[in-house]
């Protein structure tokens, strides 16, 4: 037991009487040589908030009565905010002054004590960080530099405002402007500078591939499989025999097709469909049986659980499972016998599900289609497209017909669909941006989406009826107040909403907005009103899908929650009663939610880096943009031609004095009444870029660049410009608050 552990054990013991450092040393009967180590350990515990030094110099545990746990975010000005774990609104965040944040870093879980409550409404309560409970990361990525004969690293992003000391120059062979990975030894605080050690040299800044590696390391994404995992995958390949289907439902003679992106390498779903004389549909959704190859407790299982999901970056894929499994044994390749888990669903002519059975099966895909090929084959025509068998063509036609029936029924029950145009970036040979295009979401995508949704919902319903604990995909109902705010915003734009809680009223507004200038504003505002989907064993339903019970079943190659559901389903089919620890399943759900969001962050972060690097050569050019967030210090806008966000600071709006009307997400000119509102479409110019800080500054295309920030970034991107508020104005307190890569198998079709 080290000194820190001994000290904490003593202070937590019953009957502890506060001791001074020297008295504690005598209590432990330490030799004189050990005293400095004890003193260092106690200083560290005090710095970490685990001990307090009283006025009489005695040591005691911090007073944690009335404390709050939450996630800390530090601004570049030094102050920060803590969002409590159960918080659902920004107004509930706790303001942390710059000198009260200890050495907490953005993303850390902290323990906070409230020290001051606001006297005015609309202001944040104030607190101080008592203790950092869990670090968000210990590994960071930044740019190496040298100063005064020492090495430093300027960490990417805006979490740390000053470079981190890393010792003598040239550590790990680093040179100025190299990208490096750094492990933090001592986090910076208001009283001392940070200190770290370089763990890996990533390469010269700007070199092809270094940007991707930087994001992977910064987010701690595992990108190499260990030898045990690879060996298990090879052993599975040696024992797999296509002809061995004795214990499975044999569906090899059933006509089956796959529809995926043209660049896909792994195929985890296939479809069969027929219709009988009654007009009833028999839909088969056949999903790769990954659980056959990945046994519970195996090296493959442990690694897949750790990763949680595959990560799809613009220029590479980091799979959840080794490619021997993901791109070969489990992949439903055309012309090969593959093991599947089949959902065999029956629907009547109106699309009402009338039956469902499930089986471990074997299939043989007859034909693979890209979305583009399927779309063309589904179009009305007098003849059969060349190279397409009549029975395959007929199957595609039936697929379209049933999918549209299911889609109509889904919307009749209140499902919501936010129509957000998605731009995908095009990359060159070395990963550089060469252009962008509008992502397609035609009927071929909708067909697969409807069938996957039907299978996911059916599996959740069936296992739920068996009282089997599974990892559900839930989308909790939004807060009533959020919907009321949205309704008020929609009314300001001229849309009528009587009951904000009504799905059908929301559907009506979304439909009425289509094709109108306000469409962007409506869709963005409603999206901001909804909660994020997550994984949990709780039966909370899926708000956007209007589904009472829902799980992920259709992508076990790339998502661990789907694999967990497959295992529960397989156990029931084998006549067993699965035993699952709810606490363990809840923890797994939280882990998978985190890994999913980490993957989304990695994709979003790398796309932004690549786009900002591309825009370095286009400073001064004009772009169309959509306002996606309005704050009291300006607004953020997303370029239409390239999917990147930038800030247009209030200082760039030199024609008037603007104030924030927070209820309508609008900046309003005090003299002229000009408005900049969430969802508005505007024209902007690129003013300045800082790739390492992920910052893009914009000015209005019609403005004089000399009046804006064209000469460099703003001293503070989050500092509001104070004006005397109008009586109805709410002033926000103290500052502010995807492209497909090669092998990306499903895009967003199953991401709900």
Tell me the pLDDT tens digit for each residue of 454-479.
999 999 999 999 999 999 999 999 99
pLDDT at 708 over 50: no
pLDDT at site 20:
92
Q: Does pTM surpass 0.75?
A: yes
pLDDT at site 90:
65
Q: How confident is the model at residue 534 (pLDDT cuts 50, 70, 90)?
A: very high
pLDDT at 613 over 90: yes
Q: Which of 85 and 366 is assigned the larger pLDDT? A: 366
pLDDT at site 713:
44
Specify the length of the chain in residues.
752
Average pLDDT of 741-749?
40
Instruction: Write the DSSP string, 352-412.
Output: -EEEEEEEEEEEE--EEEEHHHHHHHHS--SSPPTT--HHHHHHHHHHHHHHHHHHHHHHH
Least confident piece of the model among 181-190, 260-269, 427-436, 720-729: 720-729
Average pLDDT of 261-270?
89
Of the CATH numbers 3.30.70, 1.10.10, 1.10.540, 3.30.1340, which one belongs to the domain with range 3-60?
1.10.10
Pairing, β 337-347 against β 353-364: antiparallel
Burial bucket for residue 685 (CB in 10 Å: 0-12, 13-18, 19+) = buried
Buried b (16+ CB within 10 A) or exposed e, 338-352: bbbbbbbbebeeebe
pLDDT at site 120:
65
Q: How confident is the model at residue 752 (pLDDT cuts 50, 70, 90)?
A: low
Domain 3-60 identical in fold to domain 68-134: no
Q: How confident is the model at residue 750 (pLDDT cuts 50, 70, 90)?
A: very low
Q: Are 164 and 188 in contact (CB under 8 A)?
A: yes
pLDDT at site 87:
67
Q: Where are the domains of the chain?
A: 3-60, 68-134, 139-205, 227-379+390-407+419-471+547-601, 478-530, 619-752
Share the mean pLDDT of the chain: 88
Give CA–CA dist 93/71, Å, rounded.
Answer: 10
Q: Which of 113 and 611 is assigned the larger pLDDT? A: 611
Least confident piece of the model among 13-22, 210-219, 584-593: 13-22
Homologous superfamily assigned to 68-134: Nucleic acid-binding proteins (2.40.50.140)
CA distances (Å), origin 271, targets 1, 178, 209, 292, 339 = 59, 49, 37, 20, 14
Q: Which of 197 and 492 is assigned the larger pLDDT? A: 197
pLDDT at 724 over 50: no
Pairing, β 178-186 against β 139-147: antiparallel
Instruction: Write the DSSP string, 339-354.
Output: EEEEEEEEE-TTS-EE
pLDDT tens per residue across span 42-52? 988 887 778 88
As assigned by CATH, the class of the 619-752 domain is: mainly beta
pLDDT at site 723:
34
Q: Are 133 and 109 in contact (CB under 8 A)?
A: yes
pLDDT at 733 over 80: no
Distance from the Cα of residue 605 to its chain's centroid: 11
Q: How confident is the model at residue 326 (pLDDT cuts 50, 70, 90)?
A: very high
**Torsion angle of alpha carbons 137, 143, 146, 150, nearest 10°?**
10
Euclidean distance between the first and final Cα of the chain, in Å?
48
Of the CATH numbers 3.30.70.20, 2.40.50.180, 2.40.50.140, 3.30.420.40, which one belongs to the domain with range 139-205?
2.40.50.140
Distance from the Cα of residue 26 to its chain's centroid: 52
pLDDT tens per residue across span 621-671? 999 998 988 988 999 999 989 989 999 999 999 899 999 988 788 999 999
CA distances (Å), origin 737, targets 78, 106, 275, 386, 630 = 13, 13, 55, 58, 11
Task: Read off the tokens for 743.
Answer: 């092998």
pLDDT at site 717:
55
Give CA–CA dist 228/226, Å, rounded.
Answer: 6
pLDDT at 308 over 80: yes
Closest CA to 73 of 62, 84, 64, 65: 84
pLDDT at site 742:
39
Average pLDDT of 533-560?
96
């Amino acid at each position: 037991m080290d000194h820190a552990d001994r000290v904490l054990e003593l202070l937590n013991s019953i009957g502890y009487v506060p001791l001074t450092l020297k008295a504690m040393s005598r209590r432990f009967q330490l030799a004189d040589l050990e005293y400095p180590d004890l003193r260092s350990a106690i200083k560290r515990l005090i710095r970490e908030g685990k001990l307090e030094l009283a006025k009489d110099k005695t040591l005691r545990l911090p007073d944690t009565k009335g404390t709050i746990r939450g996630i800390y975010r530090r601004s570049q000005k030094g102050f920060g905010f803590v969002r409590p774990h159960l918080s659902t609104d920004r107004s509930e965040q706790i303001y942390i002054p710059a000198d009260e944040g200890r050495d907490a870093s953005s993303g850390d879980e902290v323990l906070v004590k409230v020290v001051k409550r606001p006297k005015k409404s609309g202001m944040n309560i104030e607190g101080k960080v008592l203790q950092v409970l869990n670090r968000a990361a210990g590994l960071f990525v930044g740019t190496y530099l040298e100063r005064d004969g020492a090495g430093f690293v300027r960490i990417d992003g805006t979490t740390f405002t000053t470079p981190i000391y890393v010792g003598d120059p040239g550590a790990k062979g680093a040179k100025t402007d190299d990208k490096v990975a750094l492990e933090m030894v001592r986090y910076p605080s208001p009283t001392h500078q940070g200190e770290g050690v370089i763990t890996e040299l990533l390469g010269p800044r700007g070199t092809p591939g270094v940007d991707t590696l930087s994001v992977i390391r910064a987010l701690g994404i595992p990108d190499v499989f260990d030898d045990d995992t690879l060996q298990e995958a090879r052993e599975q390949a040696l024992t797999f025999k296509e002809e061995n289907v004795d214990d499975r439902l044999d569906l090899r003679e059933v006509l089956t097709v796959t529809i995926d992106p043209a660049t896909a390498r792994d195929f985890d779903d296939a479809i069969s469909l027929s219709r009988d004389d009654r007009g009833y549909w028999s839909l088969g959704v056949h999903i790769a049986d990954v659980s056959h190859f990945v046994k519970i407790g195996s090296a493959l299982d442990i690694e897949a659980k750790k990763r949680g999901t595959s990560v799809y970056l613009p220029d590479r894929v980091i799979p959840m499972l080794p490619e021997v499994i993901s791109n070969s044994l489990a992949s439903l390749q055309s012309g090969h016998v593959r093991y599947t888990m089949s959902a065999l669903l029956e629907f009547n002519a109106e699309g009402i599900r009338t039956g469902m059975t499930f089986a471990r099966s074997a299939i043989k895909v007859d034909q693979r289609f890209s979305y583009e090929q399927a779309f063309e084959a589904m179009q009305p025509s007098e003849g059969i497209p060349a190279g397409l068998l009549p029975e395959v063509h007929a199957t595609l036609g039936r697929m379209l017909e049933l999918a549209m029936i299911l889609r109509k029924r889904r919307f009749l029950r209140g499902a919501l669909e936010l129509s957000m145009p998605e731009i995908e970036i095009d990359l060159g040979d070395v990963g550089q941006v060469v252009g962008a295009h509008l992502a397609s979401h035609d009927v071929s995508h909708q067909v697969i989406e409807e069938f996957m949704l039907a299978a996911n919902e059916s599996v959740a319903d069936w296992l739920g009826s068996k009282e089997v604990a599974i990892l559900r995909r839930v989308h909790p109902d939004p807060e009533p107040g959020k919907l009321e705010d949205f309704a008020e915003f929609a009314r300001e734009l001229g849309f009528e909403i009587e009951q904000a809680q009504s799905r059908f009223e929301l559907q009506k507004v979304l439909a009425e907005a289509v094709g109108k200038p306000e469409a962007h504003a409506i869709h963005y505002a409603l999206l901001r009103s909804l909660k994020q989907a997550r994984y949990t064993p709780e039966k909370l339903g899926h708000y956007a899908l209007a589904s009472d019970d829902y799980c992920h079943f259709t992508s076990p190659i790339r998502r661990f929650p789907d694999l967990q559901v497959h295992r529960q389903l397989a156990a029931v089919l084998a006549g067993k009663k699965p035993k699952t620890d709810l606490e363990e399943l809840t923890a797994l759900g939280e882990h998978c939610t985190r890994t999913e969001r980490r993957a989304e962050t990695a994709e979003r972060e790398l796309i932004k880096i690549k786009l900002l690097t591309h825009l370095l050569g286009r400073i001064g050019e004009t772009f169309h943009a959509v306002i996606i967030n309005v704050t009291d210090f300006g607004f953020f806008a997303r370029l239409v031609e390239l999917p990147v966000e930038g800030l247009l600071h209030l200082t760039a709006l030199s024609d008037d004095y603007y104030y924030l009307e927070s209820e309508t997400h609008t900046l309003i000119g005090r003299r002229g009444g000009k408005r900049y509102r969430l969802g508005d479409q505007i024209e902007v110019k690129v003013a300045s870029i800082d790739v390492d800080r992920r910052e893009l500054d914009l000015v209005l295309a019609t403005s004089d660049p000399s009046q804006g920030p064209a000469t460099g970034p703003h001293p503070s991107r989050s500092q509001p410009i104070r004006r005397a508020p109008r009586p109805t104005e709410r002033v926000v307190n103290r500052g502010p608050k995807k492209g497909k890569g090669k092998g990306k198998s499903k895009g967003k079709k199953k991401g709900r």
